[in-house]
Amino acid sequence: MEFSPGKLQKLFEYNFLEYTSYVIRERAIPSIEDGLKPVQRRILQTLINMEDGRFHKVANVVGETMKLHPHGDASIFAALVNLANKGYLIDRQGNFGNIYTGDQASAARYIECRLSPLAKEVLFNKDLTEYIDSYDGRTVEPVSLPAKIPLLLLQGSDGIAVGMATKILPHNFCELLEAQKNILRNQDVVLYPDFQQKGYVDVTDYEDGNGRVRCRARIEEVNEKTIVIRDIPFSTTTQSLTESIERAAKAGKIKIVSINDYTAEDVEIEIKLARGVYARDTIKALYAFTDCEITISPNLTLIRGNNPETSTVSDVLRYNTEKLQADLTRELEINLGRLREKLHARLLEQIFIEERLYKNIEEETSYAAVVRSVETSLVPFTGELVRAVTKEDIEKLLEIRIKRISRYDINKQQKEIRDIRKEIASIEKSLKDMVAYTISYLDALLEKYGHLYPRQTQIKEFSEVSVRKVAPTNLLVSYNRESGFLGHQIKDEGDNQEQSVACSEYDRLLLLFNNGIYKVVPVADKLFVGHELEWFGKIEKDIIFNVIYRDGQENIVYAKRFKTPSFILEKEYRLFAEHKRSKILLLSFGEGKSARVSLMPSTRAKSNILDIFFDDFLVKNPLAKGKRVSNRIVRKVVEGAPDQRIPEEARMMPTLPGFSPEKESDNDGLDADERHSENDRDDLD
């Protein structure tokens, strides 16, 4: 049989779509109806089928579930352990692992489980469950369970399918049911996650289940040299957390002496700090550099009907609340129908025995005549009955034994009829106001189980920890003019090192070259920057730069001031126009600074010295041209004395990393002939 390329492509597309649909609907993505994936639903159905009040070997449960689940026992066992460790639907006996440490559960033959009372109360009702054939047709399984609590939001869910994934965060039992009550009252609801690992959560950007949350460990400062981690963030374990701390310590981001994990029933990770390091600073560094703070981006993807969709927490809760009300209504209607049938049967029996209608059949010779006789004798009592008498009703009356008739207790029967009527009246009243009935149902669940599930995670708004602020300044970046290299690995260059700056790996360095180019680069091991680097230092906000430079094209000297410039990393900028003779003559920082300018001697000038006070200049954009220093030729520029016109405290600026302020520029970049020609121009002036 030959395949054309077009047919082969269609075959692959069809098979891929079939596989994709199967993985999405039957394995990875939970259903909005009951909040369960198929394997979880099959486990719970198996447990209710096996239910006898006692614990069952997990190995037996897994084996029974394989009658419904077409995959291996390993996936069933893993799903069962995960479901049991969530703490709502399955009671455990034995070692099911540890959600804090990440320890695995014991083998399935050693541990036992059974349905929890909550699961038995809210998950199962055969009258509301639709069943389909199992994968091999030997038994049936539920399409979905009639869950009366929002399991999808209660337990959360993770799954990776083909082309999509889901990550739904767990929420608090009591808060979910209270929110459902608010929905029934047409009030607004706001829900936030709650995690078994406790800790803190910042829900500022939760966005109803599709934004992000930041989770933090709870860290206690025992003393200034000892800190203890008491709670861990969601999705981490004490093992993964400890490993992240050890990696940070090895990388030099934090300094610790030892770390010990004493976790058993509760989390306890003790950290001893190194000499010269204190708890308060280390706690900030732990949040910045380790898994003590993590960001989680939930994605509320689910199956509604047969189709995947992305929903929100509010929509899911509203759907579950509407479904709860509808299911409770159906339950009441089914119970009402059964009570009415029961009342009808009791009334028929009462009339048949108390009115001695059974005596009318003594003379009848055939079964058909007996049925007609009973039917005729019941006609006068039709008004007392719930509905019309059927042949099945008459057959049930004829099945009553003489022994039961002889021992018939009229008072007991009347009391039972009164009780049934009372139950019917109560159900009919509830059906008239289903909102109130649903709220009372939720209140009953809260009263019965609410105390078992308090909120574990504290909602708290975190201040952003700046990595650059808490990072240790453990790198010494140096520049060697002879080799032209800059970096923290330049350590053996001897006297050729012109400048060194202590910084962290997260700092950014501003490089300012003699020809007016500047750019910002990250801290590097070893970077070639050339031989004309004028200054470099850490980027800090609002540093004031005082610059005197020569414009080579105009052969004019300008002075200007500007603050730390904005930048794009590793992009080159210019302080002045490009020209081979353009260069920086003087660079200083801060306020209260001055410069002494030596001018070309002139017979008409009273002085050949000019003092420039930078505070007289406005702070402008780095690209501004600046103010001309003098109309005369500038020979030399040096750092001047502090400006005595301003208060002393204004001149007290922090020392900035840079070349020595005493460094002077006495080379104007001109040869002797050029100087002579410029002197001639000065005389013309």
331-336, long-range: CB < 8 A, 24+ apart: 331/125, 331/127, 331/128, 332/427, 332/430, 332/431, 332/437, 333/431, 334/127, 335/427, 336/424, 336/427, 336/428, 336/431
Q: Please tell me whether residues 165 and 59 are part of one structural domain.
A: yes
Distances (CA, A) of 15 to 12, 224, 587: 5, 63, 71
- 526 part of a folded domain: yes
The model's pLDDT over 291-308, given as tens digits with 9 standing for 90+, comes to 999 999 999 999 898 888
Count of domains in the chain?
4
Could you identify the residue written with the tokens 């596989």?
19
Helix or strand (DSSP H, E) at 408: none
Reply yes or no on whether the pLDDT at 499 is more than 80. no
- At residue 658 the predicted structure's pLDDT band, cuts being 50, 70 and 90, is very low
Q: What is the pLDDT of residues 58-77, one digit of tens each?
A: 999 999 999 999 888 999 99
Residues 483 and 610 grouped into a single domain: no
pLDDT-above-90 percentage for the chain: 47
- Angle at 229 (CA atoms; ends 224, 230), nearest 5 degrees: 125
Assess if residue 28 is contained within a domain. Answer: yes
User: Do 531 and 593 share a domain, yes or no?
Assistant: no
Give the containing element (helix H, strand E) for 57.
strand 56-57
Mean pLDDT (whole number) for 116-137 = 93
> H or E stretch including 335?
helix 313-354
200-223 pLDDT, tens digit each: 999 999 989 999 999 999 999 998
- Average pLDDT (244-258) is 90
Strands 256-261 and 619-620, bridge-based pairing: unpaired
Pair 67, 156 in one domain = yes
- Please list, in sequence order, all residues whose beta carbon lies within 8 angstroms of the beta carbon of residue 365, skipping any fewer than 6 positions away: none
Distances (CA, A) of 190 to 150, 175, 317, 462: 15, 9, 11, 19
Mean pLDDT of 595-614: 85
Domain CATH number, residue 104: 3.90.199.10
Q: What is the mean pLDDT of residues 497-508?
A: 76
Q: CA 281, CA 295: separation in Å to the nearest integer?
A: 21
Using 50, 70 and 90 to split pLDDT, how confident is the model at 666? very low
480 domain residue, yes or no: yes
pLDDT value of residue 660: 39
pLDDT at 659 over 60: no
Rounded average pLDDT over 351-364? 80
Boundary residue ending a domain (258, 277, 296) = 296
- The pLDDT value recorded for residue 468 is 65
Two tokens at 284?
Answer: 């900030």
Is pLDDT of 496 > 90? no
Is 131 inside any structural domain? yes
> Which pLDDT band holds residue 56 (cuts at 50, 70, 90)?
very high
Are 499 and 574 contained in the same domain?
no
Domain check: are 548 and 683 in the same one?
A: yes
Residue among 196, 184, 240, 216 at smallest CA distance from 86: 196
From the list 14, 110, 262, 367, the catalytic residue is 110
Nearest to 301 by CA among 42, 16, 23, 28: 28
Looking at residue 170, its pLDDT comes to 95
Structural domain includes residue 444? no
Closest among 655, 290, 293, 289 to 472, alpha carbons compared: 289
pLDDT computed for residue 280 by the predictor? 86
Can you tell me the mean pLDDT for 258-269?
A: 92
Same domain, 577 and 622: yes
Give the model's pLDDT for residue 491. 66
Q: What is the pLDDT of residue 405?
A: 78
For the entire predicted model, the pTM comes to 0.75
Joined together, the tokens standing for residue 14 give: 């069809």
Number of C-beta neighbours around residue 152 at 10 A: 28
Highest mean pLDDT among 57-66, 67-76, 579-588, 646-655: 57-66
Same domain, 72 and 94: yes
Instruction: Region of 623 please: left (phi>0), alpha (psi -120 to 50) or beta.
Output: alpha
CA distance 589 to 153: 58
Residue range 583-587: mean pLDDT, rounded: 91
**Banded model confidence at residue 654, pLDDT cuts 50, 70, 90:** very low
**Angstrom distance (rounded) from CA 523 to CA 504:** 8
Q: How confident is the model at residue 644 (pLDDT cuts 50, 70, 90)?
A: low
In the predicted structure, residue 619 carries a pLDDT above the cut 70: yes
**Position 54 in a domain:** yes
Same domain, 227 and 123: no
Same domain, 545 and 526: no
Last residue in a domain, options 539, 562, 597: 539
Using CA atoms, how far apart are residues 255 and 272, in angstroms rounded to an integer?
A: 9
Strands (E), 446-543: 458-459, 475-480, 485-487, 497-503, 508-513, 517-522, 527-528, 533-538
**pLDDT computed for residue 330 by the predictor:** 95
Q: Are 230 and 220 in contact (CB under 8 A)?
A: yes
pLDDT for the residue 67: 93
Query: CA 238, CA 244: separation in Å to the nearest integer?
Result: 10
The last residue of one of the domains, among 110, 143, 172, is 172
DSSP 357: G
Which residue in this structure is represented by tokens 């030729």?
633
The gap from C-alpha 146 to its chain's centroid, in whole angstroms, comes to 29
Q: According to the model, what pLDDT value does residue 3 have?
A: 54
Report how far residue 356's alpha carbon sits from residue 154's, in angstroms, rounded to the nearest whole number: 59
Report, as an integer, the average pLDDT of 240-267: 91
Residue 639, pLDDT score: 85
Q: What number is the average pLDDT over the span 345-351? A: 88
Residue with tokens 């689940």: 69
Averaged over 108-128, what is the pLDDT?
Answer: 95
Show contacts of 175-178: CB within 8 Å, 24+ apart: 175/455, 176/149, 176/150, 176/317, 177/149, 177/442, 177/445, 177/446, 177/450, 178/446
Residue range 133-145, pLDDT digits in tens:
998 899 999 999 9
Percent over 70 (pLDDT), the chain:
90
- Say how many residues make up the chain: 685
Give me the mean pLDDT over the 527-543 stretch.
87
Q: Is the pLDDT of residue 262 over 90?
A: yes
135 in catalytic set? no
Q: Are residues 651 and 612 located together in one domain of the fold?
A: yes
Average pLDDT over residues 562-567: 88
Task: Fill in the DSSP letter of residue 304.
Answer: E
Q: Is the predicted pLDDT of residue 628 greater than 80, yes or no?
A: yes
Residue 662's pLDDT band (cuts 50, 70, 90): very low
Instruction: Calculate the average pLDDT of the chain.
Output: 85
Q: How many whole angstroms separate alpha carbon 323 and alpha carbon 434?
A: 12
Cβ-proximal residues to 218 (8 Å cutoff; 6+ apart), any chain: 198, 199, 200, 229, 230, 231, 458
Same domain for 138 and 246, yes or no, is no
Segment holding 364, helix H or strand E: none
Q: What is the pLDDT of residue 50?
A: 95
Which string of b and e fits 76-108 if b means at least 16 CB within 10 Å?
Answer: bbebbbbbbeebbbbebeeebbbbbbeeebeeb
Sign of CA dihedral 374, 375, 381, 387: positive
Question: Which residues are within 8 A (CB) of 185 and not within 5 positions of it... i.e. 6 or more apart?
Answer: 435, 439
- Three-class DSSP category at 555: coil
Residue 604: how many CB atoms within 10 A of its CB? 7
CATH number at residue 287: 3.30.1360.40
Chain segment 40-53, per-residue pLDDT in tens: 999 999 999 999 99
Identify the burial level of 277 via C-beta atoms within 10 angstroms of its C-beta, where 0-12 means exposed, 13-18 middle and 19 or more buried: middle
Domain enclosing residue 80, as ranges: 5-172
Q: Cα separations (Å) of 414 from 326, 347, 402?
A: 34, 9, 20
Note whether residue 35 is domain-resident: yes
pLDDT value at residue 683: 33
Task: Give CA–CA dist 377/373, Å, rounded.
Answer: 6
- Which range (100-114, 461-475, 652-666) has the least confidence? 652-666
In a domain, 48, yes or no: yes
